[in-house]
Amino acid sequence: MDRLDNFFGVHATALKLRGSRMAILASNIANAATPGYKARDLDFAGALQASAPPTLSATRPRHLQPSAEAAEATLRWRVPVQPSLDGNSVELSTEQMQFAENALRYRSTLAMLNGRISSLMSALRIDG
């Protein structure tokens, strides 16, 4: 399993995080008219860094386990440029732009993974 993790690199984790961010941004867009709703976003770089394996080795089963607080720390409140009177912090144009950018990055990460899988399949066909 370690070899596959090394082969796919950070792309598998990045794809999961991009999917999570897509769901968060979609929730923001869906709640654009909900009074008092506070828009959130995922700190992608922070989440990716938090998901990196530690450089130390665990000597006990419960050592170096990621905490729920660490995962939650990468989820941030979005600060609106122009606050709404009803307390809603969703700015639809900002959310749509972030969603489109994240979708593009999701597709490019998926293309990178597809390329890796294709090269692995090609290597298996040559040897088989």
Please state the domain extents for the chain: 2-31+38-127
pLDDT in tens, 47-71: 888 877 655 556 666 655 544 444 5
pLDDT in tens, 68-87: 444 555 899 999 998 899 99
- Which one has a higher pLDDT value, 81 or 123? 81
**pLDDT at residue 36 is higher than 60:** yes
What is residue 93's predicted lDDT score, i.e. its pLDDT?
A: 95
Residue pair 15/116 in contact by the 8 Å Cβ criterion: no
What burial class does residue 50 get, using C-beta atoms within 10 Å of its C-beta: 0-12 exposed, 13-18 middle, 19+ buried? middle
